[in-house]
Amino acid sequence: MIVLSREGDKAVLRPSGADIVSSLVPELRAQMRGIVEEGVRDLVVDLANVQMVDSSGIGLLISAHNSLHKLGGRLAVVHASKDILDLFHTMRIHQHFSVTGDGGED
Amino acid sequence: MDQAPFDDELLDDYLLESCELLANIEPYLLAMEQDGAEIDERLVNRVFRAAHSIRGGAGFFDLVNIRELAHNIETALDLIRCRQMVPTADVVTILLRGFSKLRELIQNCRESGEPDIAELVATVAGLTEDHLPAGEKHLSMGRMEVAVPETRQRVDVSAFDLNQARRSGQCIYLMRYDLIHDIQRRGKTPWEVFKCLIQTGTIMETFLDLDSAGTLDGPPSNQLLLEVVYATAVEPEMIGRLGVASPQRVLLIEKNRPSADTVVRARP
């Protein structure tokens, strides 16, 4: 289940009990596209309940970043586990959009 | 079932290996001090390789403080190795302080970015500044652009890494992976690929091709391209078969021969 909270042009997506892997990507992608079409420009993906992000999931986050960047908006990933932070740092993803961990570290 | 693309195994391996490398550093450094100008190359190389491995892994995991300190220690040891600096008592005392702090940072690697170690880093860097010829002061720092043959592409890498690769006669490659086709669809994880690369060489830099992921509009992209600049002793004939997943494309940037004199100058 993906929980969405929204206020103006800001939205927070919180995949709940589901990892961001290829099986979830189509649903999450559709939801992201929908809210961006509705005018959301400040999108936060909260990974508090996510243990795993696979290559498809990374691709989805980057495509969301690309869409928002084109529109003058921004993507932020928050509450990433230390494993996810390590992976994102290794791939230098944090140089493109904000990625913070459980304790707010980047 | 999807496999986890990452785990703590790689970081655990790095920390374990680093602790092993640091285990006998103090007696080695003291022996270096005793040898003075008559260095035992095998001994100096052993200490150098410890700093080199720790710095390489720290760069990979983006452990900034560990990387900075290890990099400066490594640079000083390289000068000793090249007989441009004698490991006097003063020099060894500073290196001992540096390694001691490295051990402390590695033992608390999650918080390693927090302490302010600028003064110690400056002290260790001062060794290099004091002993390098005036024209080579910037040699150990900065970035260098390297042209990729047969393309218009240029890659930006650490001048120090480039010098190391050239002096040790390593090949430098640009390897392109498609994380979806080359890795995920073969049941492999990015970590498995990175781990194998680290074991047989140095990842000098990585570049993620954001455009390859596309946007939310239109059909989903089925690729995610990551380029890795990689230095290794593995020859071009074998590089395609290296590791758990073959890269989509491998370009040889340089094939070097070992030389004590080959240096490159970083951008000021």
Q: Where are the domains of chain B?
A: 9-132, 143-255
Nearest to B2 among A26, A54, A66 (CB): A54
Q: How far does the CA of residue A46 sit from the closest CA of chain B (Å)?
A: 18
Average pLDDT, integer, range B241-250: 79
Number of A to B CB contacts under 8 A, please give it.
99
Across all residues in chain B, what is the average pLDDT?
Answer: 84
Contact check, Cβ <8 Å, A67/B8? no
Residue A63 is nearest to which of B7, B8, B221, comparing CB atoms? B221
Question: Are the beta carbons of A59 and B179 separated by less than 8 Å?
Answer: yes
A1–chain B nearest CA distance, Å:
18
8 A C-beta contact, residue B132 and residue B84: yes
Predicted local confidence at residue B266, as pLDDT: 52
- In chain B, where does DSSP find H-type helix? 9-22, 25-35, 41-61, 64-81, 89-107, 118-131, 159-167, 190-200, 236-239
ipTM: 0.90
**CB distance B105 to B79 below 8 Å:** no
Nearest by CB: B213 against A32, A63, A83: A63
Q: Alpha-carbon distance B36 to B80, whole Å?
A: 10
Instruction: Name every chain A residue with its beta carbon within 8 A of the beta carbon of B183.
Output: 55
Q: Which residue of B has its CA nearest to A85?
A: B61
Q: Going residue by residue through chain A, which has 106 residues, state the pLDDT in tens, using 9 for 90 and above.
A: 677 888 889 999 998 877 888 888 998 999 999 999 999 999 999 999 898 888 889 999 999 999 999 999 999 999 998 778 878 887 889 889 999 987 655 5
Calculate how close chain A gets to B36, using CA atoms only, in Å.
40
Give the pLDDT confidence score for residue A1 in this predicted structure: 64
Question: Bigger pLDDT: A45 or B82?
Answer: A45
Say which CATH topology domain A2-101 has: Transcription Regulator spoIIAA (3.30.750)
Q: Domain extents for chain A?
A: 2-101
Residue B175: per-residue pLDDT: 92
CATH class name, domain B9-132: mainly alpha
Cα A36 from chain centroid (whole Å):
13
**Which B residues 117-176 touch A at CB under 8 Å?**
none
**How much is the pLDDT for B58?**
87
Q: Would the CB atoms of B191 and A66 count as touching at under 8 Å? A: no
How far lies B75's CA from each of B72, B129, B204, in Å? Answer: 5, 10, 16
d(CA B94, CA A31): 56
Residue A32, min C-alpha distance to chain B (Å):
8
| Segment B78-104 mean pLDDT | 93
pLDDT at B64 over 80: yes
The whole-angstrom separation of Cα A50 and Cα B73 is 39
Contact B62 A25 (CB under 8 A): no
With tokens 């680093």, the residue in question is B18
| Chain center to CA of B134 | 25
Lowest mean pLDDT of B29-43, B73-87, B159-173, B186-200, name the range.
B186-200
Residue B5 pLDDT grade (very low, low, confident, very high; cuts 50, 70, 90): very low
Q: Which residue has the higher pLDDT, B233 or A33?
A: A33
Nearest-CA distance B26 → chain A (Å): 31
On whether the CB atoms of residues B179 and B224 are closer than 8 A, the answer is: yes
- From A97's Cα to the closest Cα of chain B, the distance in A is 11
Measure CB to CB from residue A33 to each of B6, B216, B223 and give the nearest one: B216
In order of A32, A44, A74, B34, B191, the CA distances from A64 in angstroms are 7, 11, 9, 60, 23
Q: Which of B110, B193, B206, B216 to mutate to test the interface with A (most CBs of A within 10 A)?
A: B216
Residue B255 clears pLDDT 50, i.e. is over it: yes
A53 interfacial to chain B (CB closer than 8 Å): yes
Reading the block at residue A35, the tokens are 């809210």
